[in-house]
Amino acid sequence: MYSKITTGALIGIHAIPVTVEADIAAGLPAFSMVGSPGSEVRESRDRVWAALKNVGLPMPASHITINLSPADVRKEGTSYDLPIAISILQAMELLTPEETKDKLFVGELGLSGEIKPVRGVLPIVQSAREYGIKECVVPLENAPEGSVVPDVVTRGASDIMSLYNYLKGEHGVSLPVFHTDTDKLLSESKDRVTFDFSEVSGQEDAKRAALISAAGFHSLLLTGPPGAGKTMISKRIPGIMPGMSIDECLEVTAVHSVAGMLPPGKALITSRTFQNPHHTLSKAAMMGGGSKPHPGAVSLAHRSVLFLDELPEFQRDIIDSLRQPLEEHRINIQRAAYSAEYPADFLLVCAMNPCPCGYYPDRNKCTCTEPMIRKYRGKVSGPILDRIDLCVQLNAVKISDIKQSRTGSGIGSLELRKKVERARKMQEERYKGTGIRFNSDLNSSETEKYCRLGEPESEFMSDIYEKLSLSARAYHRIIRVSRTIADLDGCAEISIPHLAEAASYRPSDDYWRR
């Protein structure tokens, strides 16, 4: 007796169909599994056996062979429990091929027959649609995320017995079909702001830098004493970024689904996230990977903000490892047992104190020696500083700024978002058909093409290049930032004031050597 059932295997944040084949033959009782199963998949034999027995569908005392095809793809996770159980029921002739035709199954089984949630349902349902599968049966808790994929019927099952009765067509038995109105979800989140810039007291220079950062997707570094508002400003940057498109929402939701970090019952992530990892995290937690492939913080911040507070406290090799995703917007994980690619197109925002105690140059409070300050700042490598477009020094907040903030007269996040959207619209029109989205995406040759300077502006930049001892990368970054500033002003051409403001945000070599 032979059967085959369709499920899915995750590769990065994508999935491919997997055929679960079952064969029941005469011989000594055995349960063998082939097709590159991982340890969690091999354990499924015990979960499947107990689950079927406890719902009154015991497996025969025969030789059972399960094959997971294609065999050259490593199978990880507990999502294979349900398709293995269904394939065995079909091989036992309790189900017919017609009853499981054009259906995909995914889910973990409890010993009582309960179908438990698994990670990665969204990309699996997406792959099912691409391969022409019409119906997906997933755990009830995962059904909302699967339902955002159009042209596929997503049913949620709570236990294997109700699923079996549904497949048999028992009278009055059905599984709920989930539908999600993605347009409605996007509309509801359009004007939603969790943290508002109107609550920030003073720090106008930092607010301006945050606006430029959001408009052109430029990396940002905020330095200043404790309580100056570095974290407060950083948390509000996602709120002034334009709303996500449906494609961006699906990408971000897929990453969180694969990571197992999608909130229960959440169908779609529609707002930009704010990832704030602690400085004690491991390199695998930051970049992804580990003994089993999973997305790291750089991928969870995809299309959103990655905030590194207390930047010098992070391990130096972790900070330096950000160079590749900052340039390529993706992260490649290569291990002996697997390889995976995750998206990592994030806006890097960092914050740090000017010295170990945090109060330099206020010598009334600062107790740090010059060598201590140099050592502290030296933890941030030059190559990373060279990739930071905007650097702003914050001072302690004045009492007059605090009193003014109580009146609520400060500019709000929704107003700032409108400015960002206008600047993004100019970039969209400028780069239409090129694959470039933001000014920060431009390489050196593209910068020369799209950010042309007049003769006075070119001479000004030559002086800046010599006086600040810039690298070629830093030179082009200043021009790209000035292009964003010009977009915020609605200007078609870059002028000297735009270049001067952009140059003022460059990290000073004297500051880092002090």
Q: What gap in Å lies between CA 267 and CA 5, rounded to an integer?
A: 26
Distance between CA atoms of residues 19 and 461, nearest Å: 61
3-state SS class at 156: strand
Please state which CATH number belongs to domain 2-178. 3.30.230.10
Phi, psi of 401 (to 5 degrees): -70, -35
Residues 424, 432: Cα–Cα separation, whole Å: 12
What stretch of H or E contains 330? strand 330-334
Cβ neighbours of residue 311 closer than 8 Å, sequence gap 6 or more:
221, 319, 350, 351, 352, 379, 380
What pLDDT was estimated at residue 266? 86
Could you count the other beta carbons within 10 Å of the beta carbon of residue 357?
17
Tell me the two tokens of residue 509. Answer: 């070599």
* Residue position matching structure tokens 């000594």: 28
Residue 407 has what pLDDT? 52
181-242+273-414: what CATH class?
alpha beta
CA dihedral 405, 406, 410, 415 (to 10 degrees): 130
Structure tokens at 480: 């790209």
Asked if 90 contacts 100 with a C-beta cutoff of 8 angstroms, the reply is yes
Q: Two tokens at 373?
A: 């300050």
Determine phi and psi for 212, rounding to 5 degrees.
-65, -40
What secondary structure letter does DSSP report for 197?
G
CA 221/CA 272 separation, integer angstroms: 20
What is the rounded distance in angstroms from the CA atom of residue 179 to the CA atom of residue 365?
59
**End-to-end CA distance of the chain, in Å?**
77
Q: Which residues of 23-45 are buried (b: 16+ CB within 10 A; e: fewer)?
A: bbeeeeeebebebbbbebbeebb
Q: What does the pLDDT read at residue 187?
A: 86
| 207 contacts: CB under 8 Å, gap ≥ 6 | 197, 200, 233, 411, 416
Phi, psi values for residue 131, rounded to 5°: -100, 15
From residue 434, how far is each of 99, 196, 245, 430, 437 by CA, in Å?
A: 48, 34, 19, 9, 8
Residues 466, 438: contact at Cβ < 8 Å? no
Q: How many CA atoms lie within 13 A of 44 on its CB side?
A: 30
What are the mean pLDDT values of the chain's consecutive 10-residue runs (514 residues total)?
Answer: 93 94 92 93 95 92 94 92 97 94 96 96 95 95 94 95 94 88 86 86 91 96 92 95 93 95 88 94 90 89 96 92 91 80 95 91 87 89 86 84 61 93 96 93 93 94 89 90 97 96 80 56
CA neighbor of 131 nearest in space, from 117, 151, 111: 151
Distance CA 272, CA 252 (A): 9
Which of 204-221 are b and which e, b meaning 16 or more Cβ less than 10 Å from the residue's Cβ? eebbbbbbbbbbbbbbbb
- How many Cβ atoms are within 10 Å of 388's Cβ, its own excluded? 22
Instruction: Show Cβ contacts of residue 307 under 8 Å, excluding neighbours closer than 6 positions.
Output: 231, 234, 235, 274, 275, 276, 349, 350, 351
C-alpha distances out from residue 71 to 16, 35, 66, 87, 435, Å:
12, 4, 11, 17, 37
User: What string of H, E and C letters represents the secondary structure of 433-487?
Assistant: CCCCCCHHHCCHHHHHHHCCCCHHHHHHHHHHHHHCCCCHHHHHHHHHHHHHHHH
φ and ψ at 284, to 5 degrees?
-65, -35
- Give the relative orientation of helices 81-91 and 44-54 as an angle to the nearest 10 degrees: 60
As given in the structure block, the two tokens for residue 172 are 């009055």
Residue intervals of the chain classified under CATH 3.30.230.10 are 2-178
Domain with CATH 3.40.50.300 in the chain: 181-242+273-414
d(CA 406, CA 390): 29
Instruction: Please report how the helices 472-488 and 413-430 are oriented relative to each other, as an axis angle in degrees rounded to 10.
Output: 110
Q: Is residue 294 within 8 Å of residue 310, measured between CB atoms?
A: no
| Phi, psi (deg, nearest 5) at residue 243 | -60, 155
CA distance linking residue 77 with residue 118, whole number of Å: 8
